[in-house]
Structure 1
Amino acid sequence: MSKEMLNALDALETEKGIAKEIVIDALEAALVSAYKRNYGQAQNVEVEFDMKKGNIHVYAVKEVVDVVFDSRLEVSIQDAMEVNAAYEVGDHIRFEVTPKDFGRIAAQTAKQVIMQRVREAERSIIYNEFVAYENDIMQGIVERQDNRYIYVNLGKIEAVLSKQEQIPNEVYKPHDRIKVYVTKVENTSKGPQIFVSRSHPDLLKRLFEQEVPEIYDGTVEIVSIAREAGDRAKVAVMSREENIDPVGTCVGPKGQRVQAIVNELKGENMDIVEYNEDPAVYIANALNPAQVVSVTFNEAAGSCVVVVPDYQLSLAIGKRGQNARLAAKLTGFKIDIKSESDMKALELAKEEAGLEEAADYAEAVEAVDQDMEAVDVEEVIENIEDLDGIEEISELDSEVEENILNPEDAESMIELGEERAGHEE
């Protein structure tokens, strides 16, 4: 058994990449449990595997004490000194207790341990291999599907494609070869779990990297992608070299490069536009194939008003607003599209509203001026002077009333009457 065990460990290390030391450590721990379980022992046990000969030895470890309370865990100092006179209280002595039929138990345990280690190692190898493909593209074969997932064989493992990550109206049949984007790799208790997507925008980016060498080496860069999977996508590209046309490079001779991507995505329409640092030019490019007359920005709201010719309004908006929606996603601006006639009508309405406001203001100013002209300043002054005279007369009246209430002083009443008569004249 010893030679077969060593040969099996060597083969395991060669074929599966599992180090012998890892298997032996696990085997020793499993044999300790097997010994205690099969022989009803609760003592401290150690199992030693001979790496040269492949033999297995079981040792009971006991502590040297003055008085023994548990013979399974302790040994007296007298018995210990019979083994070796150098032992002292507190030392630990190993006594070999390998059973005669322990080889059979060891073989069964070794089989279980090795199988478990092989499964764990394979899971670890698969996880380490596929975690490197996270956020990358892979080719797989459709195997089967249920109500939740479509299972795609990636070689060593099955990946799952959920309904949310599928392209709408795309039919997947067994044995179909498809390219998928690896969104997430998880290491679960049941092994690695790989989630893939066909609708992710980065799938488009990876497909362009495969078909366009200039994108792969960085000469042409994909700045932004806006995609409605299965229907239409817009890709903004820019060149790092002046003499290279980024759009023409991505399209390829006679459209071969972009056509290969369209075929892989089952006919998804592709608009490739050139990125520009000027937002107005960039937005005009993003609304391709429609022509743009002007772009007016509202920086505070992060929006813009785009004016297009009347006959291209529907083309700029697109079917169910798709062209405008994808352009907004691509550029990051809220886009309001208006025709030239609508814009002129709006400006005319603003001008008319402005004229009405100006007319109202002029009428108000004129009314104020007329009111001011109607006022005679000299007459106002005279009225004020008359008011002063009236106040003096009212004072005299009050004095007379006081004297009438006091009729003792007749002379003063006569004087007051004369003065009042003089004022009335």
Structure 2
Amino acid sequence: MSPDLYTVIKQICEEKQIPEESVVSTVELALAAAYRKDFADKLQNIHVTLDAQTGNFRVFDMKLVLENVSARIKEEALKLARQKKKAALYMPEFHDHDDEKFNADGVDLNDDDKLIEEGKVLLKFNPRTQITISDAKKIYPDIKVGDEYKEELEVPGDFGRMAAQTAKQVIIQRIREAERSIVFNTYKNREGEMVSGVVQRVEGSVVIIDIGRVNAILPYREQMAGDEYRIGGRLKLVIARVEMTPKGPEVIVSRTHRDLVSKLFELEVPELESGTVEIKAVAREAGSRSKIAVVANEENIDPIGSCVGQRGARVNAVIDELHGEKIDIIEWSANDEKFIASALSPAKVDSVEILDRDERRAKVTVKAEQQSLAIGKGGQNVRLAAKLTLWKIDIVQSETNAVIEISDDEPGDDTENVSQ
């Protein structure tokens, strides 16, 4: 092999951000596949070890040492093994990567006649990947059952054109698989995180966003009403989910995810980053309105003021990123009555009565002039309050006792407490 092989491997590792050992094992497998194609015997289990820095490699026939078997079993096993089209490839996790995998359940491995009759001899002894102890001791007198038998094979001077092509194909395939796996694991571990992306193109109702090592998909159901997607435009998004498909990892991002609001506030509010202020709950109807409940974990800290910022600078930065989505910031309380009353802000509540704690049902009384404000346009305010608090809320007008019931499971955007 070329002494420049190590330089090539290092280059691949840097370009594809793949661990060096993964590339080396890929090259070893490619060389083993090339050797098997042109030089190996059908009864061999080919394994290659590569010294990347020198480019030298060694080829071995690897077998697991078993107890001795009868001559009939051995003869039949050799006959079946020679019917295989090519030698085996050694895999540490498998005895024989290419052989047909038989189901040994219910098979008596001690009944030689039945094994031969049913053609399941290879379940007991496979000469491609196994060797009997008596044969192994002819080469290594101290070897024991369960050890690996390792016989070094001659390395040909030239693999030939077809062998080189085989090696190239395996290298390309395995590096692509390794790269896909790394990308998948990287973004799978980042589900729920906020990322910044650049609009690459629009394909029908789907927007393709460049978020770094991969182009993410922003489907229609994850888009905010009023968003404009211009080529080259930058957006903040949440990684909603990551899936592995036949074409590689698929990253789905969202502009409607409830966590986008809390992540944007964490970006703008240092107190959230330090932990002195905490977002306890978020309720959102994307593109229209959100409510967040915040609490201070230290005395003399105003959690609402921290999120609003001087002259509203912090909350306005979030609103601008969400293209005008209204945001209500309320103070969280462990007292359910106080929390429910605050959640209905900007409406002023006369009283809150807990009707059933197990079913989380509460009755809220408001004056006539506050009723429309408490309910909100299309019921949005009370609906978001129910989602924020996870309580079913009955709105009662103090003068007439007319009841309007809203629960946290009414139609709307999927929202829930982000911490308890």
Structure 1 length as normaliser, TM-score? 0.67
Unaligned runs of 5+ in 1: 75-85, 347-425
For residues 179 and 142 of structure 1, the distance between their equivalents in structure 2, rounded to whole angstroms, comes to: 11
* Counterpart selection for 2:341 from 269, 275, 284: 284
Contact 1:45 1:58 in 2 (8 A): no
For residues 20 and 292 of structure 1, the distance between their equivalents in structure 2, rounded to whole angstroms, comes to: 64
1:152 aligns with 2:220: no
* Counterpart selection for 1:140 from 185, 197, 202: 197
Contact 1:225 1:236 in 2 (8 A): yes
**Cα 1:41–1:203 shift into 2, 3 Å:** same
Contact 1:27 1:109 in 2 (8 A): no
Q: How does 1:200-219 map to 2 (within 5 A)?
A: 200-219=257-276
1:171 aligns with 2:172: no
1:11 aligns with 2:68: no
Identity %, equivalent residues? 42
* Counterpart selection for 1:262 from 319, 331, 342: 319
Partner of 1:273: 330
**Cα 1:276–1:27 shift into 2, 3 Å:** closer
Deviation at 1:308, TM superposition (A): 1.6
Contact 2:343 2:389 in 1 (8 A): yes
Aligned residue identity for 1:152: I
Partner of 2:368: 310
- The Cα offsets for residues 151-178 of structure 1, whole Å up to 9 and x where unpaired, read as 1110210111222222134332322211
For residues 273 and 367 of structure 2, the distance between their equivalents in structure 1, rounded to whole angstroms, comes to: 38
Q: CA RMSD in A?
A: 3.6
Deviation at 1:37, TM superposition (A): 3.5
**Cα 1:104–1:326 shift into 2, 3 Å:** same
Q: How does 1:190-269 map to 2 (within 5 A)?
A: 190-269=247-326
1:44 aligns with 2:53: no
For residues 193 and 122 of structure 1, the distance between their equivalents in structure 2, rounded to whole angstroms, comes to: 13
Deviation at 1:56, TM superposition (A): 5.2
**Cα 1:11–1:295 shift into 2, 3 Å:** closer
1:184 aligns with 2:241: yes
Q: Secondary structure at the match of 1:283?
A: helix
**Cα 1:233–1:108 shift into 2, 3 Å:** same
Q: Secondary structure at the match of 1:3?
A: coil
For residues 212 and 306 of structure 1, the distance between their equivalents in structure 2, rounded to whole angstroms, comes to: 32
**Cα 1:100–1:226 shift into 2, 3 Å:** closer
Unaligned runs of 5+ in 2: 66-70, 88-126, 128-137, 144-148, 404-420
**Cα 1:29–1:137 shift into 2, 3 Å:** closer
Deviation at 1:95, TM superposition (A): 8.0
**Cα 1:39–1:281 shift into 2, 3 Å:** closer
Contact 2:262 2:279 in 1 (8 A): yes
**Cα 1:47–1:103 shift into 2, 3 Å:** farther
More deviation in 325-334 or 135-144?
Answer: 325-334
Structure 2 length as normaliser, TM-score? 0.68
Aligned residue identity for 1:306: V
For residues 223 and 279 of structure 2, the distance between their equivalents in structure 1, rounded to whole angstroms, comes to: 23
Q: Number of residues paired by the alignment?
A: 331
- The Cα offsets for residues 93-144 of structure 1, whole Å up to 9 and x where unpaired, read as 9585555542544543443333233323322332333234221100001122
**Cα 1:53–1:318 shift into 2, 3 Å:** closer
The higher radius of gyration belongs to: 1
Which protein has the bigger helix share? 1
If asked which structure has higher relative contact order (CA below 8 Å, sep 6+), I would say 2
Partner of 1:399: none
